[in-house]
Amino acid sequence: MNIAIIGYGKMGKAVETIALERGHTIGLKVINDRSEIDYSEIDVAIDFSTPNSAPKLIKESLENGVPTVSGTTGWLEKMSEIENVCLKNNTAFLYSSNFSVGMNLFFELNKQLNSLICNHKQYQASMTEIHHTHKLDAPSGTALSLKEDIESNLEIESIREGEIPGTHIINYNSNIDSIQIKHEAHNRNGFAFGAVLAAEWITNKKGVFEMSDVLNLKK
């Protein structure tokens, strides 16, 4: 595949490395949202830009008929607009707050644990997410995705320190015991691998998808 990388920061560079290792080419690197972009030779786009620029950049790739995968968080109030653009242009769009295969398994584990424990009111849920100091949004998009499957009023503790790629911890505490599940990313390679995997999967498809479609996790 000939890939466009939208946003060429640390994640964009990690995507480039994984894509090249898997035999793809990088035909375009979109550095900002202020220039004319030629998508004529591009098979798929992978977006890891910024919350402010992502909607415009994603819209442009979709309007050019390019299947687009996005891992940028912090802009989801415009998701319905992007989905409409995707469908109008008869192409494909896939968003995930976290492309790590392990985290997507963790999403499913979170759903199952909550379904088991929700009728046991002695347990109180809490969540902590820890990321590097450069992360622009708090709570993380991943934490918000996890929260959707627990309870709407759950408080999330967001910690920003060092160069931590991402750690998410969910606790269920009662007076007599505690249950905890945790996902800890060791580096950015898992996110990049998952994004490239999604880009490979979405080529020649039409519609709006999630990472659970790629990993066949939907029942």
Catalytic residue numbers read 131, 135
Instruction: Give the DSSP letter string of 86-132.
Output: HHHTT-EEEE-S---HHHHHHHHHHHHHHHHHTT-TT-EEEEEEEE-
138: amino acid identity, one letter: A
**Rounded Cα–Cα distance for residues 60 and 66 (Å):** 9
- For 160, phi and psi rounded to 5 degrees? -120, 115
**Rounded Cα–Cα distance for residues 172 and 20 (Å):** 42
Cα–Cα distance list, 148 to 113, 127, 131, 140 (Å): 13, 12, 20, 13
